[in-house]
Amino acid sequence: MLRRTLLAASGSDQVRGLLTGTSATRAMVARYVAGETADDAVRAASELRAAGLLVTLDYLGEDTTDAGRAAAVADEYLALLGKLSAAGLTGGGGVEVSVKLTAVGLLLGDGDAPGGGAVKGGAPNRAASNGAASNGAAPNGAAPNGGAASGGAASGGATVSAGTVSAANGAAPHGSAANGAASGGGLGEKIAAGHAGRIAAAAAAAGTTVTIDAEDHRTTDATLRIAGALRARYPETGSVVQASLRRTETDVRALATPGTRVRLCKGAYNEPVSVAYADRHEIDKSYARCLRILMEGPGYPMIATHDPRLVRIATALGLYRDPASFEYQMLYGIRADEQARLATAGAQVRVYVPYGRDWYGYLVRRLAERPASVGLLARSLVPSIPGRKSR
């Protein structure tokens, strides 16, 4: 019940207003979010790489309903990739990026092309995360020593300058995902595919790759279509699937192909029972089934979970694989000791690192996963509630 309440709060403007201005909230944000700028993200990534961990960076924000904002988000990723390349962090896919398609225009309707109008139908009701560990984690397939793992980063020695990377850098040909959506999509899908293609081209030029995050179940088909179209040109492009969805076992079987990078997370969207499991035990069982399919297949599994039992299952299945052919993924600020333990034992571990100013929804979703933190935050907020007298 508490988890569902918090997930609902992640979309509440009223709760957002209460939380965003407090010092207690800012302290929690510092634990789970690397900072507000690309420079903050690069700094965090550099520290994690020095500790022998892989990294994926997520520029926070989703459900964009403005074409200009969607383009700005894509430009932010291009600038980030330029800075990462200049810092020498992208080689072999050591640091890559995760992209939510609703942040780059997936929800835009016909009236939202440059020049305007309102979104058709508005944004879906969200209550979840970007698909990082516990609900999910992050991507890629490169070993800490810089060598690309199965399905690893693009090669070819292309370089990217610091700052904004031009979309002309490695632009995909007409008819590819960089110029429009895979068949079956509307204007929003075409816009999102175009921006995702720009980001994937810049990532490839920098020597790294992109993982396309999972979101609300209503976006799943479009998300998988776009990731598949990108993969035709950039084979290292990762997909994300959520064990909470009833369809995912079928999707995993289709994605378990040679070299394909697939991040498996639990999922944290407040979905209807018609499409998703509601019971945590059912979600765990679904995760274990999907995990076995991926680990026994020829692809590159990315195991996004903090659940100790599921980590043990993955470790047992991993005994029959090359350690460079899969990775664990966990969130920035959560179970850092376990991340270090796995890496020390020789496993590839990638940390999902979010940054940006749009951190509210992300923070509330982290609280939903860690109820003990809720009481601490609530107690710190009590004096700020209007009309309450301190004792």
Q: What is the CATH number of the domain that holds 95?
A: 3.20.20.220
Q: What is the pLDDT of residues 290-311, one digit of tens each?
A: 999 999 999 999 999 999 999 9
Range of weakest confidence among 27-41, 202-216, 238-252? 27-41
- Nearest-angstrom CA–CA distance, 274 and 252: 19
Burial of 86 (0-12, 13-18, 19+ CB in 10 A): middle
Band the pLDDT of 327: cuts 50, 70, 90: very high
The percent of residues above 70 in pLDDT, for the chain, comes to 67
Q: What is the pLDDT of residues 86-108, one digit of tens each?
A: 999 999 999 999 999 999 999 99
Per-residue pLDDT at 245 exceeds 60? yes
Residue 3 falls inside a structural domain: no
Stretch 139-149: mean pLDDT, rounded? 36
Residue 375 falls inside a structural domain: no
Residue 142 is given by DSSP the state B
Q: Which residues are catalytic?
A: 213, 263
Per-residue pLDDT at 337 exceeds 70? yes
Q: How many structural domains does the chain have?
A: 1
Range of weakest confidence among 215-224, 285-294, 366-375? 366-375
Residue 28 falls inside a structural domain: no
The percent of residues above 90 in pLDDT, for the chain, comes to 61
Per-residue pLDDT at 362 exceeds 90? no
Per-residue pLDDT at 361 exceeds 50? yes
Per-residue model confidence (pLDDT) at position 358 = 87
Residue 9 falls inside a structural domain: no
- The b-or-e profile of 169-185 (16+ CB within 10 A means b, else e) is bbebeeebbbbbbbeeb
Residue 314 falls inside a structural domain: yes
Q: What is the pLDDT of residues 2-60, one digit of tens each?
A: 455 545 544 555 555 555 556 666 777 788 899 999 999 999 999 999 999 999 999 99
Per-residue pLDDT at 164 exceeds 60? no
Per-residue model confidence (pLDDT) at position 184 = 56
Per-residue model confidence (pLDDT) at position 151 = 37
Per-residue model confidence (pLDDT) at position 133 = 53
Per-residue model confidence (pLDDT) at position 162 = 42
Per-residue model confidence (pLDDT) at position 208 = 98
Question: What tokens appear for 23 in the block?
Answer: 């010092």
Per-residue pLDDT at 316 exceeds 90? yes
Per-residue pLDDT at 239 exceeds 90? yes
Residue 108 falls inside a structural domain: yes
User: Could you list the residue range(s) of the whole structural domain that residue 100 is in?
Assistant: 34-358
Per-residue pLDDT at 179 exceeds 50? no
Residue 21 falls inside a structural domain: no
Q: For residue 78, which phi and psi values (nearest 5 degrees)?
A: -65, -45
Q: What is the pLDDT of residues 55-84, one digit of tens each?
A: 999 999 888 999 999 999 999 999 999 999
- Nearest-angstrom CA–CA distance, 272 and 337: 35
Phi/psi region, residue 339 (left: phi>0; alpha: psi -120 to 50; beta: rest), is alpha
Residue 378 falls inside a structural domain: no
Per-residue pLDDT at 381 exceeds 70? no
What pTM was computed for the model?
0.78
Average pLDDT, the chain: 79
